[in-house]
Chain A
């Protein structure tokens, strides 16, 4: 029965029901039938627990920072500068998006914040400069999922405490996966750009003089100072990552004011975008919380255990089944719930077969990252659409496909060459 829930949800979403309410409505229908009136209680609690989620305070702050930089024109200056400097490398803006996603990863683990921020700052610019829409969407989405593996990663902390493995080592492994993925994405972007010259423009060599390049460097100072301010406040221990997003918003506000680019319209537009994106993302997450509670409450967990038990205990079958299951659940259920529900079930099954528990933790969290992007139910896709309304869901779906393949390739690399992840763990973590 719990799996019928997925079909029901799937149907509603395809009928164009707003995703947040498709999640709520499905939870209500199944909660009422299989749990009784009391099952409805958890749907309201979904809203309440989201309202008390401390980590998500970073979401409006991040989005506000990005919206402010974009609406004031500062982001435009910044990326035009990058473009001038690296303009001859075809696809450079998309690579910058990936690097920025990686950098945001070091500041936060809130995917909604990363995807919405990247979409707000870079997407309009890429399109204005004549980049292929699909390349722009795809690279931003792929980059936006990196914060989930680049430390700090809340998912890994939850996995670490449930599975009882070192958080520090998971972080090191996550950095490994994040690096492999960022490299794979960048290589793809560069190669694709090279093969599709008509879709990815460059500045002609003579267009920009060296002098112009040097002058344009001044636009880098402010935004880089903001990034350094955020990263610096985290790594010197002044602020927690959540707080650092406030520092970032504050610094952006100061910078935009100093540059005399702050006016009523910029301010109000930025605040309105922040309100809409935050609200859209959080109502989806609240619905997701309701959904996973009902799934768990009506026996979803037991069903998974039964399925796992029915498998032949061969090494590869269990591993593939586990990864597939994570992927499947990841399409509908929020990552933290999946980690909580599935870690106690899957982790012993996998590690009993001789797999390294740390490596498996890293593979587990990386697999969750793929489900953010897979159509039709991919939270990451919704966050993008929420931030950039003018693209259609069709375009997003098509744009993201190659990057899903790349994510899977990166994960296969990790599976076949576990020593990459283990190398990062060994090199970067001390003690314990």
Chain B
């Protein structure tokens, strides 16, 4: 018998090939898919009786397919806009409020982290203010600004700022003593210490705060917009409810959840880019 030596280059058995990668992705994805199907089935069952107050998933899909789902970029008059524009308007408010909160929050956090006197002076105030629910700020905000748009942005700002301040402060206070000792022996100047030691050591804490803050901002904007009106996903939900279009409410809630998830992933992604890799 002739031994048949194959000269064909064989694939490296240890290298992951595409087949196994797809199988791995499927094994990760299948349980999620099953859970979603089960959830939809239970929902459909619960809402299929003659006395059901809410539409089932099939009903929601039928009600909202045309025009809400297929035409998210629809532009009409006033608040009559496609869902993309509603979400974009809300995101714009969140972006402004969140961005301002990040700048002021990081600065205040560093201040209370560096200075014991500032910490003693401001921390009790922060601890009280941070427990106030976002919507409780809205009346004051409306009274002060006399306009819905900046009032909503202020609510986002005041909601997002506390976790940023507190986490940044904790980060500065937790800079390892070793690093501070090195800075002292080397007699680093204040600006150098700030850029080369304090900021890099605090960045992971700052991003923890930013991540909590983006979630809270998105929670707050929906509630704030319900009260202030105008284009935005929050007012869209409230408006749909008032016109009895519960299917539209449900679709909008789903979009709110998905956008919230994307925002969270976005901050995590930026954090990974900025953080010194471990």
Report whether chain A binds chain B.
no
Residues of A within 8 A of B (CB): none
Residues of B within 8 A of A (CB): none
